[in-house]
Structures are given as structure tokens and as C-alpha cells.
Amino acid sequence: MIVGLGKTGYACAKYFMRHGIAFSVADDSLNPTYLNRLRVDIPTIEVWPIDEDTFLDADQIVLSPGVPLSNESIQMAVKSGLSVTGDIAIFAQETKKEFAAITGTNGKSTVTQLLAEMAIASGKSVGVGGNIGTPCLELLEREVELNIIEVSSYQLEVVDFLAANVAVLLNLAPDHLDRYQSNEAYYQTKLKIFHDCKIAVVPRAMKLELNLKQVVYSFGLDEPKTDYELGIKVVDGVDYFSIGNRPLLSIDELALKGRHNWLNALAGLAAAYALGLSEEGMMRALCSFKGLPHRCQSIGEFHHIQFINDSKSTNPSSTIAAIEGLCSDNAALVLILGGVTKGADIGELRDVIDKNVSICLIYGQDRELIKEMLGNDVADIALFENLELLVDRLQNKTRKGDLVLFSPACASFDQFDNFEHRGEVFTQLIERYYS
């Protein structure tokens, strides 16, 4: 029984069809997103409601990431003895190819794509997917040497056996508290990335007590000590990415900007060494990789004001990283927040805003709540009903030399389809009002 017929559920259905496995579909909507596509192949397919009666004749539940494992009907089915799996778990069982799995609260897609480009530059044929782009079950059909998959906590909820060749944890910060009972529950779900992995890649700053028996590479902004540590070493006054005591590349040569992206790059490097990629290919990819859209992406400079689109920021920790990575003594920082908090504590931004932000502009459904959580003693705060009204008034709030950072720290679904749509609209508004 496939539960949830979105992009992942549809990929599961296609996989079962290719392998002659009988399945049914359950969804909260009687007309889910991919139903019309599925009916091209199976005209008579029906969509069942997600309730306990639906699962009576099922052998197994295949859960899509958009449906919580904590759903009451699914929990009742589990208690009755029904097993639950998902696309990542099926992929891990079926793949015959080497694969790296990457998770973390922030930076997953950036590191996934960077690692893929390092592998390609090293002469590998590569599949990229999972929580980004191509559903992982489609990767099983491709003739490649290596798969690199981004994995979300939602996908890890139903993983008991992953056994990645290289498992990467980038960071952990409070997120998705609308879905998890506590931060600890969310963190423990993320740590399932290491189940039976061959090599683990971890952030040194977190000092995780994982008791891993595998080989462990670590990354951080401090100076590395061993050949299994990646970090920053100062040589003749210049900062270098280094492995152990050996300098690799001057930070000035990186196309990625911001301290948070230095950590992303170091994580990618650690994973690349763990996979045995060529050092020449790693360095070449690092020098050319400029990052992904909507992730601290420069829109441009208009009227001597810089504009950064960081729409991918859907939680406070990612916005903190963006502010700390981009703040400068040479430019006043104008921060744009807004959307739906998802139960996150936006008050976590208070100190970094107080230290680095001159003006904070807030829009959207939870604007009043965000202002309340920030308090009245940080920056100059103004509220707007929607993003267009905010950008319309932005010219009155900015001055020559400012840097405008659109890093919402919230979900987008109050006014937009997703963070990509939000970032595209922001970019269009800036170009309309400023160019």
C-alpha cells in the first residue's frame, strides 16, 4: 500500500510496475497530484483514504515523506504487525552500486550537488537524487558507478537498514517541530543515516557521541590534526582548506562565498576523500562550483545595493548561518523574514540580528508572532502583509552600500507553492522595482 501519491509515491508506483509488484494507493486527497499520471498506466487505479480499514488487506505500507509515521491510522497498522518502509529503504536494499547518503538540517542539496561535481570531475559516472531532483528509485535503472542521494528526516523515519558506503551528517538544529514531538526526536531520526554505513562523515564542532565503529572523517573550521580531519589551516597569513597538516586550496580560490558554505565545502571534501575520488577533480570542482539557486544566491547589485536570495532558508539556524556568513563591516545588512514558523523559535535569531542587522522587515502569515518572538529591542522592525508590498516599500528602507538578505527562516506555504516559487517571486520583484 503506497501511502501518499506525490512525487515519491508516484516513483514507488512506477518501480512496482516495472517489477510486477501489486500495489494500491492511499492518500488524504481523493485526487492527489500524480493520480492522472498513474492512470495513464493503470486506468482503473483507485485512491483509498488513509484509515485503519484501508490497511486490512495490505502486506506492507510504503510511506511517502509527506505523510508522518505518527499518523494515527498508520500507528494502529504498525501495532497490528504491519511493517512500514519507504523509497530510501527500498533503494538501499536493492542497489548494487556504491552510494553516498547526505543529511542535515541545512546545506543538504548544496553538498549533494558539490560532491556529485567532484565525482564527475574525477571521471565517475554519477546519479544524483533522493530528496533532491530525481527520486532515488529511478536511480536504480541508471548505469552509473556511484549514486549520491540527499536524505531528509522524513525519509529516514522508516529506515532500519541503510548501509551507505559513505554517510554524511552536516549539522543539526531545531526544525520540523510541527512534525516531531521534540528536538531530540528529530535529531535521533537524522542520526539513522549512520545505520550500517562503511564510512561516516561528521561535523567536529558538534562533538557527537555516536560510538561509531566505522572509519570516521570529520570537518570543521578549526585546524585539522589527523589525515581523517578536514579544516582550515593558516599558512603565511592565508587561510587554506587542509586535510590533516597538508594545505589543499586557498579559500580565496573558492567560488562559494560565506563561512557557512566553507563548512559545506569541507563536508563535501571529507565525503570525497572517503569515496576515494581524485584530489585533482575535487579541487577543480571546488573552484568552479557556485552553489544552487535560492541558497545565498546573488541576484545582483542595483543602485549600489546588493540583493541576496536565500529563500531556501526555512528555519532559524539557516538564517543565522546566512547572516554570519555574509555580514561585513563594509555594508549594513537589511534582513527580510516571513512566512510560517512551523513551531520554530524565531527568537533564536535575536542575538545575531542585534549584532549584525540594521533593519528587519517581516511579512506573511506569522509576521506578528515573529515580531513578538524577536522582541522590541532588536534592530528597526517593520511588518508587511505580503512580499510584494514589502519590496514596494523597500526603497524607503535602504541606502547606497546596503546588503539586502532575503532569508525568511520560515516555511513558504502561506503565500507560495514552495521555497523555489518564493525565491523566484522575490527575484522578479527586485528586478521589477530596482532595474
What string of pLDDT tens digits covers the 435 residues of the chain?
999 999 999 999 999 999 999 999 999 998 898 999 999 999 999 999 999 899 998 999 999 998 999 999 999 999 999 999 999 999 999 999 999 999 998 899 999 999 999 999 999 999 999 998 899 999 999 999 999 999 999 999 999 889 999 999 999 887 776 787 788 888 999 999 999 999 999 999 887 777 777 789 999 999 999 999 999 999 999 999 999 999 999 999 998 878 889 999 999 999 999 999 999 999 999 999 988 888 888 888 899 999 999 999 999 989 998 998 887 766 789 999 999 998 889 999 999 999 999 999 999 999 999 999 999 777 789 999 999 999 999 989 999 999 999 999 999 999 999 999 999 999 999 999 988
Which residue, among 360, 306, 321, 336, has the nearest Cα to 425 in the 3D structure?
Answer: 336
Q: What is the pLDDT of residue 273?
A: 98
The count of residues in the chain is: 435
CATH at 9: 3.40.50.720
Quote the pLDDT of residue 384: 97
Do 216 and 104 share a structural domain?
Answer: yes
Q: Residue 84 has which C-alpha cell?
A: 512500514
- The C-alpha cell at 301 is 547589485
Same structural domain, 274 and 305? no
Quick one: the chain helix, strand, coil %, rounded to 5?
A: 35, 25, 40
Dihedral, 206, 211, 216, 217 alpha carbons, nearest 10: 10
Asked which of 67, 85, 103 is the last residue of a domain, the reply is 85
Residue 207 half-sphere exposure toward CB, CA atoms < 13 A: 0
- Which of 53, 85, 117 terminates a domain? The answer is 85
| Residue 181 exposed, middle or buried by CB count within 10 Å (0-12, 13-18, 19+) | exposed
| Claim to verify: residue 119 and residue 213 sit in the same structural domain | yes
Do 34 and 133 reside in the same domain of the chain?
no
Q: How far is CA 236 from CA 124, 221, 233, 240, 241, in A?
A: 35, 18, 10, 10, 14
Provide the domain count of the chain. 3
Domain ranges, residue 116: 89-288
What are the backbone angles phi and psi of residue 303, rounded to the nearest 5°?
A: 55, 40
The answer to whether residues 117 and 255 belong to one domain is: yes
Q: 3-state DSSP call for residue 337?
A: strand
Domain boundary, last residue among 240, 264, 288:
288
Closest among 314, 315, 303, 287 to 419, alpha carbons compared: 314
For the annotated catalytic residues, the residue numbers are: 108, 131, 176
CA end-to-end span of the chain: 52
The pLDDT value recorded for residue 350 is 94
Same domain? For 351 and 234 the reply is no
Q: Specify the pLDDT at position 329.
A: 63
Report phi then psi at 172, rounded to 5.
-140, 130
What per-residue confidence (pLDDT) applies to 330? 67
Q: Are residues 180 and 38 part of one domain? A: no
**Residues 169, 50 share a domain:** no
Please report where in the chains the cell 509515491 appears, as a residue: 9
Residues 406 and 339 in one domain: yes
Residues 72 and 108 grouped into a single domain: no
User: What CATH number corresponds to the domain at position 224?
Assistant: 3.40.1190.10
Contacts of 209 (CB under 8 A, 6+ apart): none
Q: What is the CATH number of the domain that holds 325?
A: 3.90.190.20
